[in-house]
Amino acid sequence: MLRIYSAWLLILLQLPNIWCMSDGRRDELRDETASLFKHGYEGYMKYAYPADELRPLTCGPLYRDPDPNNVGINDIHANVSMTLLDVLSTLPVIHPTAFPKAVQLVAEKVSFDQDVKVQVFEMTIRALGALLSTHQTLDDLPDDPTEQYRALHLDQSEVDESWIWSSRKSSTIDVKQYKGRILELAYDLGKRLLPAFEPVTGIPYARVNLRTGLLKGESIETCTAGAGSLLLEFALLSRLTGDDRFEQLAHQAYLAIWNRRSAQNLLGNTIGTHGHWLAPGMSGVGAGMDSYFEYGVKAGIMLDDDTYSDIFYDSYAAIQTYVRTTDGFIYRPIQTRLLQPASPSTIDSLSAFLPAMQVLAGDVESAIKSHLVFWNLWRKYDAMPESFLWQERKMEWTGYPGRPEFIESTYYLYQATKDPFYLRVGEKILHDLKTRTKTRCGFATLKNVMTGEQEDRMESFMLSESLKYLYLLFANTPFPNSNTVFTTEGHPLRMPPSLLKQPSSTRRALRKGENPTCPLYRPNTVGGSSGSPGIIVGIEGRGDYDYARSLVYGLDDSGAQVEDRRRIWYDGGVCKIPIEPKFTFEIVLSPLDSNNATAVPPEDPSPGPNKVNQDPLTGHYQITDVEGLRLGVRWRFDGKGYDVASIGPHRIRQGQNVIIRDPAMRDHLPIPATTPIDSTSPPELLLRFLSYSSPKAAISLQSSEDDGQVLLHAVGATAIFGNEFIPITPPELDEGPTSWRIGQKPIPLIIPPETDGKPYQGCSAMSLEWLGIDHDSRDPFVLMVSRGGCTFLEKLLVAADIGATGILVIGHPPIKAGEPVSPEREAEGGFEEGLIRPSAEYDESDPRFRNVKKVGMIYTEWVIGEVLKQMMQEDDKKILGIEILNIDSPEGTLMPPVGSMTSSRSCEKDRTTGEGLLMVGDWPIMNLRVTDNAIRFQQGKSPESL
Ligand SMILES: *[C@@H]1O[C@H](CO)[C@@H](O)[C@H](O)[C@H]1NC(C)=O
Ligand SMILES: *[C@@H]1O[C@H](CO)[C@@H](O)[C@H](O)[C@H]1NC(C)=O
């Protein structure tokens, strides 16, 4: 069964002719791109072939570097005419006359039996991908050579050079005869890469020797992208040859990486083949990670396999939640454990692939934004610098080796939006490539995009990808059809219907009701009103177009450096930094217990069919008992609000609806807010932990001269009850602290001793002596307690009794895969490992709760507590201090405020049907309905009609 993927079916809007590029001009640009490509190809064939690469300045061949450590060259140079191999799939598109001869040369001359150590990833994406793609192209050609000639659109008036197939001389060459040989080469190469896979973990070593296999003492260090981007090529190789090993190993490697994700679904960048993440523990979308995500979405499309698309959408949600800045424009690396931006914070040119992937995934709006940042980088430097310090607005690495990612994204966005803006972007790219990188025989790498200084290297992707995507852009070539994708090296690969695997019956059942739709791109308009559509202004007319520009340039064209990012954009107080709604979060449902407001229902991590089930007819999910259900909620790509993406372990797919028909909810329509939030505290804060050597400092850090040493930073979530965390203002500094404030001087952090090997949970009061607190001092302190044992409210009341200013709650330890969960923990509902906002319900007028607002509560992850405890163990004379900072600092906010779930907005009830739509802040959860009408659903009607 073929599944047509919606991403290919973007509905394209034709824009009016304003600012349009004429078709004539576009054709001119296409032809100009083609002639640049021919220039580079012929230069390589004349001056460098059969070497792997051309030296574009000295016009000679570039061979392997005798220095084995020069991996920049040697990873790719396998003595297999790599540039010729890599352009094989581009020739039929741009320079078809050269195609037959090129195929013949590869088929007859290339051998992978070489005594060279090369990179598995590079050999796969450049060589293996090209061979498989070429095999498929040849397979598609008619058997009759004359017909082949016609199918390839060969131009009769080509020059007669030895590396060009002369139509006059050899029009009878049967290029299809090489089909088998090309696949044989691919198979041979594939087998030579197999020794790379570590047998236990399944994670491949980064490099192997093509002749002798894995070398003794080979480095175990590899990266997420390197291990996770073999899927497309290996899967197709397996299905074409019938040898399952390749697909199995690539699949295992992909999952081996995913299974090591963090609690937030984040992956690290560097991993050892033994399966442990290695320093520096960063997560992002650029170098080292990029194509892992890309291959998730593309394998989902090509193999029609939900395993990969599910992984992709989960990892994408984590990226949108943690890696993306709150304005929605920048994707910068973060520390995987602490969820803090890396410092210094850079974006690299490889991450310019992201908009293309976002278009494929259906998130066109995010693609437009991320592309605008790279567009401004390109136009500022007339090329794409390798790495950019976005906060300082200056380059980190100045080179540009002809990389394709930005061009690729421009092509995808043009196809998705048909906005001529992207053609003009292409025009600028073409101009810069021509004037800055073109040499007598090829294209040089730019060593410095500012000075234009060139380097004697032409990577094979300059021809095979950069010029190809530029050509596809101007040729207005639509995306390939279903089950076909461009690999990360730009080689089109196709899974023929005969080789597709049937999804299992369980998977088919789960897919019922699934209806992937693609967000329709709506161009920006101005002057419209309800009755008139307004004038289409396109990408450049977007309100945030200039915002993206200011991110790269600053406010004035000279690129003056501005310390505070907010200052420049609050120019005259007119423009606001855009804020994207939080991408994902979780909510736990429970009916309100009207007899006991403090009752906290246990979470149900694996709800059975008595609570959740899928309607076999419609595929929709119904919830018959809401008690303790955990809903994962995700932002919709069409910008209309949120969708429920999961209920506990059940995944809700696009188009599937969730209907709550719990009789207990009947009395609660509209649903009373489970947790009214009237807190003005920011949802998350940056915690800074310091250590002090002098015990005296402990008495009052407020008056301490000892500045302390910063131990670590962490993100904490504020409770939605208790003390409000507000920034301290200068006059209050003098009065001394009355409550826990943002920006206050550090407060001593007390870590109570363990009893019976168990950390203090703060459920019962302890003496100040036991806690190690001086009786007479009336100084503030913060108590660290572990989650569990009692409710958050009880912990806070106990802390208030002891006289604490604040309480730092440490989350549960992560649950190891396959390890049983203790009943106590299950009862506490302690399944989450990331941040949550503690909540409580109580009657404010009840005198028992009069102290609640005096104590502040912050929740942080388990690992933070572990690190702090360990530091204390090393030196028990040390005194800890804790300080809280507003996370919404110019360094980039990690999380935007979640719309609060207030009682007034929690539910909009349609009185006539007794249904409610759950609101999260300003946004509805679109696929969730609360109904008291059970019968209609049982009749199998689709809820849209309710
Ligand atoms: C390169 O490969 C060819 C055969 O494909 C071989 O004859 C030649 O010796 C190789 N060169 C080196 C330097 O290994
Ligand atoms: C209310 O619920 C809490 C927590 O579940 C429980 O400890 C307490 O005993 C309950 N109170 C009443 C009056 O049932």
Residues catalogued as catalytic: 122, 290, 386, 405
φ, ψ at 152 (rounded to 5°) = -90, 5
Q: Does 935 or 652 have the greater pLDDT score?
A: 652
Cα 884 from chain centre: 28
Decide whether any atom of ligand 1 lies within 6 Å of the 111 Cβ: yes
d(CA 719, ligand 2 centre) in Å:
21
d(CA 795, ligand 2 centre) in Å:
15
What is the model's pLDDT at position 790?
83
Convert the pLDDT of each residue in 406-437 to its tens digit: 999 999 999 999 999 999 999 999 999 999 99
- CA-nearest residue for atom 12, ligand 2, is 596
Cis peptide before 92 (omega within 30 of 0): no
Query: Could you identify the atom of ligand 2 that is nearest to the CA of residue 596?
Result: 1
Q: What share of the chain is helix, strand, coil (3-state, %, to 5)?
A: 35, 15, 45
Rounded to whole angstroms, the Cα distance separating 243 from 802 reads 69
- CA-nearest residue for atom 4, ligand 2, is 599
Rounded to whole angstroms, the Cα distance separating 632 from 720 reads 20
Q: How many CB atoms lie within 10 A of CB 219?
A: 11
Decide whether any atom of ligand 1 lies within 6 Å of the 212 Cβ: no
What is the model's pLDDT at position 801?
87
For ligand 1, pick from 52, 65, 79 the residue to mutate: most ligand atoms within 8 Å of CB: 79
Q: How many CA atoms lie within 13 A of 96 on its CB side?
A: 16
- CA-nearest residue for atom 11, ligand 2, is 596
What is the model's pLDDT at position 156?
53
Residue list for the binding site: 488
Residue list for the binding site for Ca(2+): 488
Convert the pLDDT of each residue in 696-714 to its tens digit: 544 555 555 567 777 778 8
Could you say which ligand is closest to the alpha carbon of residue 61?
1
200 has a pLDDT exceeding 90: yes
d(CA 603, ligand 2 centre) in Å:
16
Convert the pLDDT of each residue in 460-481 to its tens digit: 999 999 999 999 999 999 988 7
The answer to whether 331 touches 371, Cβ cutoff 8 Å, is no
Could you say which ligand is closest to the alpha carbon of residue 112?
1
60 has a pLDDT exceeding 90: yes
d(CA 96, ligand 1 centre) in Å:
28
Structure tokens at 446: 């730019």
The answer to whether 750 touches 782, Cβ cutoff 8 Å, is yes
Convert the pLDDT of each residue in 866-924 to its tens digit: 888 887 777 767 788 898 887 654 333 332 222 222 222 233 333 333 456 677 777 88
Q: Report helix, strand or coil for 457.
A: coil
Q: How many CB atoms lie within 10 A of CB 944?
A: 10
What is the model's pLDDT at position 670?
44
Query: Could you identify the atom of ligand 1 that is nearest to the CA of residue 63?
Result: 13
d(CA 824, ligand 1 centre) in Å:
66
What is the model's pLDDT at position 888?
54
d(CA 494, ligand 2 centre) in Å:
61
d(CA 80, ligand 1 centre) in Å:
8
- CA-nearest residue for atom 4, ligand 1, is 111
Straight-line distance from the first to the last Cα atom of the chain, in angstroms, rounded to the nearest whole number: 31
Query: Could you identify the atom of ligand 1 that is nearest to the CA of residue 109?
Result: 5
Residue spans of beta strands (DSSP E) within 567-660: 584-588, 612-614, 621-623, 630-635, 642-647, 650-651, 658-660
Rounded to whole angstroms, the Cα distance separating 421 from 536 reads 13
- CA-nearest residue for atom 1, ligand 1, is 79
Query: Could you identify the atom of ligand 1 that is nearest to the CA of residue 113?
Result: 5
What separation in angstroms does the CA of 470 have from each of 36, 179, 355, 502? 11, 28, 16, 36
- CA-nearest residue for atom 14, ligand 2, is 596
What is the model's pLDDT at position 49?
97
Could you say which ligand is closest to the alpha carbon of residue 52?
1
For ligand 2, pick from 595, 598, 794, 842 the residue to mutate: most ligand atoms within 8 Å of CB: 598
- Which of these ranges, 108-112, 357-361, 517-521, 806-810, has the smallest mean pLDDT? 517-521
Rounded to whole angstroms, the Cα distance separating 544 from 240 reads 47
What is the model's pLDDT at position 725?
87
The answer to whether 523 touches 536, Cβ cutoff 8 Å, is yes
The answer to whether 904 touches 588, Cβ cutoff 8 Å, is no
Q: What is the mean pLDDT of residues 797-817?
A: 85
Residue spans of beta strands (DSSP E) within 263-393: 270-272, 277-278, 282-283, 334-335, 346-348, 387-389
Which residue, chain included where needed, has tokens 């800055």?
A: 436
- CA-nearest residue for atom 5, ligand 1, is 111
Q: Which residues of 503-516 are buried (b: 16+ CB within 10 A; e: fewer)?
A: beeeeeebbbbeee
Q: What is the mean pLDDT of residues 20-33?
A: 93
Output the average pLDDT for the chain.
Answer: 83
- Which of these ranges, 345-354, 492-501, 718-727, has the smallest mean pLDDT? 718-727
Q: Does 199 or 939 have the greater pLDDT score?
A: 199
Q: Report helix, strand or coil for 708.
A: coil
Structure tokens at 154: 């060969």
Could you say which ligand is closest to the alpha carbon of residue 77?
1
What is the model's pLDDT at position 601?
67
As to burial, measured by CB atoms within 10 angstroms (0-12 exposed, 13-18 middle, 19+ buried), residue 612 is buried
Q: Which residues line ligand 2 (CB under 6 A)?
A: 596, 598-600
Rounded to whole angstroms, the Cα distance separating 244 from 577 reads 51
Rounded to whole angstroms, the Cα distance separating 77 from 213 reads 16
Cis peptide before 96 (omega within 30 of 0): no
Q: What is the mean pLDDT of residues 516-526?
A: 73
What separation in angstroms does the CA of 93 have from each of 301, 471, 472, 488, 491? 23, 9, 9, 18, 11
Structural domains of the chain, with CATH: 24-53+344-484+522-580 (no CATH), 64-219 (no CATH), 584-674+910-945 (no CATH), 680-886 (3.50.30.30)
- Which of these ranges, 269-273, 608-612, 702-706, has the smallest mean pLDDT? 702-706
Could you say which ligand is closest to the alpha carbon of residue 791?
2
Q: Which residues contact 813 (CB under 8 A, 6 or more apart)?
A: 833, 862
- Which of these ranges, 254-263, 323-332, 484-493, 784-793, has the smallest mean pLDDT? 784-793
The answer to whether 794 touches 785, Cβ cutoff 8 Å, is no
The secondary structure of residue 899, as a DSSP letter, is P
Query: Could you identify the atom of ligand 1 that is nearest to the CA of residue 79?
Result: 1
Beta partners for residue 879, in sequence order: 692
450 has a pLDDT exceeding 90: yes
Q: Does 859 or 737 have the greater pLDDT score?
A: 859
- CA-nearest residue for atom 13, ligand 1, is 79
What is the model's pLDDT at position 248?
98
The answer to whether 56 touches 429, Cβ cutoff 8 Å, is no
DSSP string, 24-47: HHHHHHHHHHHHHHHHHHHHHHHH
Rounded to whole angstroms, the Cα distance separating 457 from 444 reads 6
> What sign results for the dihedral spanned by CA atoms 758, 760, 766, 772?
positive
d(CA 79, ligand 1 centre) in Å:
6
Q: Report helix, strand or coil for 76.
A: coil
Quick one: CA torsion of 894, 896, 902, 904, rounded to 10 degrees?
-170
| Sequence letter at residue 412 | Y
Q: What is the mean pLDDT of residues 454-462?
A: 98
Rounded to whole angstroms, the Cα distance separating 206 from 118 reads 8
Q: Does 696 or 338 have the greater pLDDT score?
A: 338
Rounded to whole angstroms, the Cα distance separating 650 from 656 reads 12
For ligand 1, pick from 114, 185, 188, 211 the residue to mutate: most ligand atoms within 8 Å of CB: 114
Decide whether any atom of ligand 1 lies within 6 Å of the 79 Cβ: yes
Decide whether any atom of ligand 1 lies within 6 Å of the 81 Cβ: no
d(CA 185, ligand 1 centre) in Å:
16
Maximum C-alpha span of the chain:
103
Structure tokens at 297: 């979405």
Could you say which ligand is closest to the alpha carbon of residue 794?
2
What is the model's pLDDT at position 904?
25
- CA-nearest residue for atom 13, ligand 2, is 596
Long-range contacts of 666-669 (CB under 8 A, 24+ apart): 666/914, 666/932, 668/591, 668/592, 669/907, 669/909, 669/914, 669/915, 669/916, 669/930, 669/932
What separation in angstroms does the CA of 108 have from each of 42, 182, 283? 20, 9, 44
Q: What is the mean pLDDT of residues 61-80?
A: 96
Convert the pLDDT of each residue in 139-182 to its tens digit: 999 998 888 888 888 755 454 444 454 444 555 578 999 999 99
Decide whether any atom of ligand 1 lies within 6 Å of the 211 Cβ: no
- CA-nearest residue for atom 2, ligand 2, is 599
Query: Could you identify the atom of ligand 1 that is nearest to the CA of residue 114?
Result: 14
d(CA 218, ligand 1 centre) in Å:
24
